[in-house]
């Protein structure tokens, strides 16, 4: 999947590029955060990817991926941090609508079934709601 490829590239360039700190956690790329970032920051990310990867996605494909993640409110990354690991994340906003970060659940890809996906998404949505209420 393109997001997985983008994530691997971001992890590689995070060591050399100065990316906003909220986006990098030990080189971690979370599309649920990037998808809600300003256009300027997304353009900078795309330019960094393009400069560091000869098979980078087209700008249009990158923008479609980010728009898709923003609309769904969930990002799914398979085999990005480690082979056999899937993570599901959702953005976390402050009470005034500013992006704060993301909540994420990681599990072995072998356990990531459709039924498990529904349970994870439901749990993440409840956790985000609870966190946002406490942050208000």
pLDDT band at 120 (very low <50, low <70, confident <90, very high): very high
Give the pTM: 0.67
Would you tell me how many other CB atoms lie within 10 Å of the CB of residue 38?
10
Joined tokens for residue 38: 């300003």
Mean pLDDT over each residue of the chain, to the nearest integer: 76
Q: Any idea where the domains of the chain sit in the sequence?
A: 2-135
Contact by Cβ (8 Å): 94, 76: no
Instruction: State the pLDDT at residue 45.
Output: 75
CATH code for the structural domain at 2-135? 3.30.450.40
Helix (H, G, I), strand (E, B) or coil at 89: strand
pLDDT reading at 50 higher than 90: no
């Amino acid at each position: 999947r393109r997001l997985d490829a983008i994530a691997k590239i971001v992890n590689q360039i995070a060591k050399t590029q100065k990316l906003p700190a909220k986006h990098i956690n030990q080189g971690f790329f979370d599309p649920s955060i990037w998808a809600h970032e300003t256009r300027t920051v997304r353009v900078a990310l795309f330019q960094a990817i393009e400069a560091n990867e000869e098979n980078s996605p087209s700008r249009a494909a990158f923008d479609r991926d980010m728009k898709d993640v923003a609309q769904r409110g969930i990002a799914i990354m398979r085999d990005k941090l480690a082979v056999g690991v899937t993570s599901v994340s959702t953005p976390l906003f402050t009470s005034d609508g500013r992006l704060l970060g993301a909540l994420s659940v990681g599990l072995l890809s072998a356990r990531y079934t459709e039924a498990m996906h529904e349970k994870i998404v439901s749990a993440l949505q409840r956790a985000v709601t609870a966190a946002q209420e406490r942050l208000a």
